[in-house]
Chains A and B, each alone.
Chain A
Amino acid sequence: MKKFAQLFSELESSNKTNDKIAALVNYFESADEKDKIWCLALFTGKRPKRPVKTTLMKEWVVEVSKIPDWLFLECYSTVGDLGETLSLLLPPPAQIHDKPLHQWMEEIKMLYPHTDEEKKAYVTEAWNGLNANERFIFNKLIGGSFRIGVSHKMLVNALARYSGEDASSLMHSIMGKWDVTTTRFTELINGETINADNSRPYPFCLAYPLEGEPEELGKITNWSAEYKWDGIRGQIVKRNNEIFIWSRGEELVTDQFPDLVEAVAGINHDFVADGEILVVKDGRVMNFNELQKRLNRKTVSAKMLKELPAGFYAYDLPEFGFEDLRNRPLTERRNKLRSFWPQTSRLLLSENLGFESWDHLAEIRQQSREVNSEGIMLKRLDSPYHSGRKRGDWWKWKVDPMTIDAVLIYAQKGSGRRSAYYTDYTFAIRDNDKLVTIAKAYSGLTDKEIMEITRFVRDNSLEKFGPVRTVKPELVFEIAFEGIGYSSRHKSGVAVRFPRIARWRRDKSVDEIDTIESVKALIR
């Protein structure tokens, strides 16, 4: 496991994508074949089910390290990662185990049928032969996520550099169905397990935010306008009866949307369509929070498919009948799309918005929240489907966020990289003489501000609930968000979408924050 541990520390000791890729390439060049396939399996989530419960592992560590439960919890709250807490609390190893990664993984896999006592014997024996860093990795091998910022995309880029193979076919290969125990590493990356030509997507054509006024774009007759949907941008690829759904992050998400796959299977053409994956229920686009519930799951339950049906709003058509249409004008691609797109409750067409003037469009834009859209997309009618972001042909014209002033009342330490500081905040507004919570926000401040707030929290804690600190209501922040609705989750009875900290209002005191009445007035 030494090499894998080395890879791991190199991955976590740099923030630079290039360094991480170099570390991965170096690993692929030097590691054992069997270890490499396990490495891919672990980093793509194709790992065996956890054979040992975390509560048991925690119990064993508390027992071995002879510390009380409450002290364990203090440690866990400081460290922010269970596997790491366990590794730091164990006494130094008494021996050295040096086994390759695949051997550890095969042994871990064999644990399933064993009793808790037998598992305990195996795990504690392993701990006793590993240093703190290796123990941490061992704990992660048993279960849990690595959180070292290796995306599928990065992994694929490293594999591409190592092997010289094409990145999108590598993505297809590693995201495809393969079994870690029967697949050989070279077979997998040489694309022997797939037909890459069927899956290949196009680089997404991206838009810049519109900074000036739309009038500067000239005559309205040169432009098409459509809603900017707030879901997951995706390409549906259908070739030779195979269907693939790619996200904008160039990851394959086909397995997460079996309902879309089924719907697309009914189209008797080969094509690549660009559009937005959304949850569409009874003809209405649901907000992103609903879609989020369906993401990053190993299996999508029948209940979920029923309650959160996926829909695809098609925007564009980069390919039809194996013909690359990207250099044809937008109008032509859209006409072609309209000619065969079924326009069902699942496979929808992003409508062109008719508008008479830029002012008229501005009015439509103001209303876009009512259909759960986040603004307007403007596309030049003769524009090609560019690779990536090009200035001039496509613009996104988002609605301005709403803002309120709220006061910080709870703070909690972050996890992972942020576990040393109070980074997770809960904000409140005024309801008569009470403060009621309205939103949690994690982002929007500089590191320096976070350090300053951390100091404030330390000095002004009123109460302690586990890792959460109640603080003196004193610091006022402007909270920006994209939408607002009634909700039972917060005491205020309203919930906001995508809350983030717009700025620290050092100029305002707690007497000047928003009230429940002024906030409810924002709901349309």
Chain B
Amino acid sequence: MSHKPLITFTKHGIYCPQGDFYIDPWHAVDRAVVTHAHADHARYGMKNYLCHEISKPIIQSRISGDFAVEGISYGKTKTINGVKLSLHPAGHIIGSAQVRLEYKGYVSVVSGDYKTGDDGISTPFEPVTCHEFVTESTFGLPVYRWLPRKIVEENMRNWVVKNQQQNKTSVFTAYSLGKAQRLMVALQSLGRIYVHSAIAKLNEVILQSGVQLPEYSPFQLGSDRKNVQGQIVIVPPAASDSEMIRKVPKTATAICSGWMQVRGHRRWQSADAGFAISDHADWDGLISAVKATGAEKIHVTHGYTEPFARYLNENGFNAQVVKTRFGEGEE
């Protein structure tokens, strides 16, 4: 490469020297471009955040302190020290974006977390051609191949109906941001949907940004214990074994996560059901995304980095593993 690299990997995170900003940094820096509002990508302590416009209010509600956030829409170009920056749908959660950087004709794309399938609520993933592509590999093994969304959702809906026939409350464990809203869409019309306060708080923010959500009620610990009977409750993983859930009389619990693809993971979690429904690309999705970029250089971050990079290298790509702090405490 004749010019100096457009992005580098530093101890603070992914850095663009020409633009003098970081992408999803894990240490406090002045200028951070953030792919999406999950806590392992949008961290506390930056002076300035740049993100998609839907992520903006979420970041404002999740992160405290004195900072500035700028939200831009997909496809709009912003120039920083000569670097042309634009955001493109990553399909991971609502507001999630791939960051495209262009300088003197060289293009780098940092995809953050992404999935290639349409989840019914996030803007679907769009491949962006580039010279250099930074990809996640959360599910970078060929045992992780998701069933079509229609089928998994049908399985979940059937499970709820079966629970209702047995007068049981269906309790879903799902991440507050992204998965929870996706479940609300998939399960609407089967019953009243109650959500944990952490999810309710995010829903309000999301609604304000103009995204449509199905009807839901915040779960009130005192009064709703009986009302939820036979209905649907969605809680974040941290609350799955909480007082709130233990007090509901007859429950059936389900975990919704890509890890549920493997029996061992399902059984370890000791839930009544596990649905392999993920906001990350599966094996085929990762490979097709990498191919679609046409990139000459692939950086593989968090997940099954080693096998995924090795497989890419054996199949004509130039891939290397990059150690990041993404994926901590996530899915």
Interfacial residues, chain A to chain B (CB-CB below 8 A): 12-15, 65, 67-68, 70-71, 74-75, 78-81, 84-85, 88-89, 136, 414-421
Contact = CB atoms under 8 A, between A and B. Distances in A.
Nearest to A86: B143
B265 A420 contact: yes
B291 to A, nearest CB: 16
A417 B273 CA distance: 14
Contacts of B17: none
B142 A75 contact: yes
B268 A65 contact: no
Contact of A75 (B143, B264, B270, B272): B143
By secondary structure, the A interface counts as: helix
B141 interface: yes
Nearest to A73: B307
Contact-residue bracket for chain B = 20 to 34
A9 to B, nearest CB: 9
Interface string B287-321: 00000000000000000100100110010000000
B116 interface: no
Contact of A84 (B144, B263, B270): B263
B220 to A, nearest CB: 28
A108 B259 CA distance: 32
Contacts of B314: 68
A78 B270 contact: no
A65 B272 CA distance: 31
Given A65-B142, A85-B143, A420 B259 contact: yes
A88 B145 contact: yes
A418 B264 contact: yes
A417 B142 contact: no
Q: Which of B145, B268, B272, B311 has the most CB of A within 10 A?
A: B268
Interface string B261-292: 11111111010111000000000000000000
A108 B268 CA distance: 32
B278 to A, nearest CB: 14
B272 A71 contact: no
Contacts of B266: 12-13
A505 to B, nearest CB: 25
Given A80-B264, A416-B263, A74 B272 contact: no
Contacts of A13: 266, 272-274
Given A13-B272, A13-B273, A419 B142 contact: no
A13 B311 CA distance: 34
A14 B142 CA distance: 27
Contacts of B264: 79-81, 414-420
A88 B262 contact: yes
A46 to B, nearest CB: 24
B268 A89 contact: no
Contacts of B262: 78-80, 84, 88, 419-420
B261 A88 contact: yes
